[in-house]
Structure 1
């Protein structure tokens, strides 16, 4: 570890390399995950209404909360830091632990989706391998290794994968929407206006709301890398607004395109985007664009994986600094200035979960199990996000960056939407065949996460020297005085 400068807010050894443009593309690629669209669209046209509800009551409040709290408490850590400052060390550790492990579960779903899309680059013979657990798992492990090497080298290099992914996401979504418009103009659509009438005849359709809320998480991601952002107080709010607006448009446009291209019962969970592109290209005589678009979508999904690997992989590093986890986790690479041990741990656990998820189920159900576990574990820290915003807003001693009624409305709306999303996340979607196995894996996964959090935290508290409380060795979050609780 480098020498700690008294009063400094910056983590020693970390470099400020992310500018405003990098942040906007980071938010686009982190939030607008095209691999999330197929499992959501498979629930049918009702998802369009659920998208709108989630954007109004979860996504916009999330942006308001991140903008406010990141200006009050800038620095490396994000939700971990905000929960810690608002509710104490144990809550900060629990929020950061769940946030990190939710992404340990989520990252394999992204790389699995990347494999599912990537096979379309090489034609029909290779496409058949997407249903092979051995092929899919081995390719996913290879991608995780690639991301690890890239991010250990540093954000100066890794951010370009994020940026290319952002460009790929925008370009790929634009082409998908254009193909949908051509299909509407020249051919019959699988989607009709009458389908927009809300019908709740199948209660399992509501499971999509939790996944939608989860897919909109990501505006806090850059705050986890707060010490690696240039002028964070100036650049973050602008990037959150434009990145969030672009992500919302991409989600609504691509979901509608999926429903135009295919009956929702036929949408594939892993490669649904390319499945829709393939169908619409065939109808419009543009089949030659499938392979290039598959490469573009693959790049977009790889950018998403890299963005979450870069951000969430740093949370154990922050906890390592705080001595909740073994001190080795907080080490910075002597040459590249990156939290390399933290990134290695993240990649190793993601690889292990990738392999374990295939036990007893198909590729599709393995994907859904990992995804739903990630939804539950991610929405718990979101509760801390909105609770921290509400506490901050009610504190009369603290100056606010936005009006009090605005922040209160966003805090309560976000908390309500998050709690609803948490509840319906335990409802199995219609693509799940073995409900008892699905619920068992969810409960076992949650038990493992909560139990391990308790054990690590208690161990750290019990072994910390009485004369040196854990909170005293928090160089990244020493604070500047103003706005500190």
Structure 2
């Protein structure tokens, strides 16, 4: 009997749910109509190559499914630990950007947007939210399951329908476009360091396919299902991103200094255009607060569980121990401390949008480092492990190497470009991009060194 239930549609929906984020629409809109072309380039250079490689790895090694375990098979324990370590610390910069977004949503949900003019107040609220959700997380996942089941449809479906609905209604009811859409404006004519870095942020918006490693065993006929699901997800995610960006830009013209509040600039414009009897911004704010609040607990758990698994024999026992609810308490608390520190440091950035832009760049840089491990592991296993059965396989070696090469160049290029400051970047915005990876790399290597030294000493005593 075949117990594998996931077909093309199921796998496509899971991929879309893991990747699609409406918060990326306002950011994409800051570049103007050429965002349409950049979305397509990001999908071709990053999303499709990564998806194909993850599909092959996850179906070839289903019992080991997961980023750190593939790296361990290819390069050993140290590389696996460092990969898991970077994935864990990457969230130190991702969570602050997410929390600032939540705070913006809270401010509009309670109709007090003036809160956002005070960076320290914004920081305090963000820290308070994170510590509260962290405390709930330490008690287990039942509460977050309930919140997610309510928040996910409200936070994605309702805002998507509202943005699409009012955006296209504005188009077809004779309202003037806030953005000029022409062949010249859509084509990325003025390529600069800033626009190329913008492309890297859109590539980051397609991240998340590595999660397929946990469900590979549940996929029916992977050789046919994976490529069809990847194509379907690519088209649907790309279409949503492009159409939502067009609808958004038709209503409002957004500049980079409005990134944090762009969604509510859109909502206020729509409210006035259609003389709505309700405040659209408040509705969107409530939806996003419920959505992110429900999913935040799971986002807190996953990296800590991953680093615990890859570092059980390396990290101090006090860090990896579990509480009664089976949660890695100290790892989660250390994570909370790191996030709090970064939020406090980000409060020195003059505006909330500038702080958000800096954190997005930091998260992009940190998250792409594990992808170098991933692609390198794929290449090595493809070359050295010819015996394993590959239920899904990129059929020709040359094609596989080209796809991996495109993905690797895209990821490395993104990291390098993120480290090159633009003409408008201040020292307070740029320093964390350089100092952060260096400090966290050093800490990871120190943990590994002392962990292995302790393990060697223990084995020597036992013998």
| TM-score (normalizing by structure 1) | 0.81
Report SS of the residue matched to 2:249.
helix
Equivalent residues of 1:30, 1:218 under 8 A apart: yes
- Is 1:317 the counterpart of 2:308? The answer is yes
Equivalent residues of 1:25, 1:162 under 8 A apart: no
More displaced, 67-76 or 141-150? 67-76
Report the Cα offset of residue 307 of structure 1: 4.2
Equivalent residues of 2:62, 2:216 under 8 A apart: no
Q: How does 1:87-106 map to 2 (within 5 A)?
A: 87-106=75-94
Cα distance change of structure 1 residues 179 and 429 upon mapping to structure 2, 3 Å threshold: farther
Cα distance change of structure 1 residues 443 and 166 upon mapping to structure 2, 3 Å threshold: same
- Is 1:383 the counterpart of 2:372? The answer is yes
Q: Which of 409, 412, 415 is the aligned partner of 2:408? A: 415
Equivalent residues of 1:314, 1:343 under 8 A apart: no
What is aligned with 2:358? 369
What is aligned with 1:58? 46
What is aligned with 1:135? 121
Report SS of the residue matched to 1:182.
helix
Q: Distance in 2 between matches of 1:74 and 1:158?
A: 27
Query: What is the number of residues matched between the two proteins?
Result: 441
Equivalent residues of 1:29, 1:166 under 8 A apart: no
Equivalent residues of 1:82, 1:385 under 8 A apart: yes
Per-residue CA deviation, residues 104-136 of structure 1 (Å, 9 max, x unaligned), is 11111101101112211222xx11111211221
What is aligned with 1:172? 159
Q: Distance in 2 between matches of 1:448 and 1:258?
A: 39
Equivalent residues of 1:98, 1:378 under 8 A apart: yes
Equivalent residues of 2:257, 2:354 under 8 A apart: no
Q: Distance in 1 between matches of 2:368 and 2:210?
A: 13
- Is 1:151 the counterpart of 2:142? The answer is no
Report the Cα offset of residue 231 of structure 1: 5.5
What is aligned with 2:172? 185
Report SS of the residue matched to 2:260.
coil
What is aligned with 2:33? 45
Report the Cα offset of residue 410 of structure 1: 3.3
In structure 1, the gaps of 5 or more residues are: 1-18, 470-485
More displaced, 173-182 or 262-271? 262-271
Q: Distance in 1 between matches of 2:147 and 2:315?
A: 29
Equivalent residues of 1:121, 1:295 under 8 A apart: yes
What is aligned with 2:197? 207
- Is 1:396 the counterpart of 2:386? The answer is yes
Cα distance change of structure 1 residues 200 and 347 upon mapping to structure 2, 3 Å threshold: same
Q: Distance in 1 between matches of 2:400 and 2:148?
A: 31
Q: Distance in 2 between matches of 1:230 and 1:310?
A: 21
Report the Cα offset of residue 453 of structure 1: 1.6
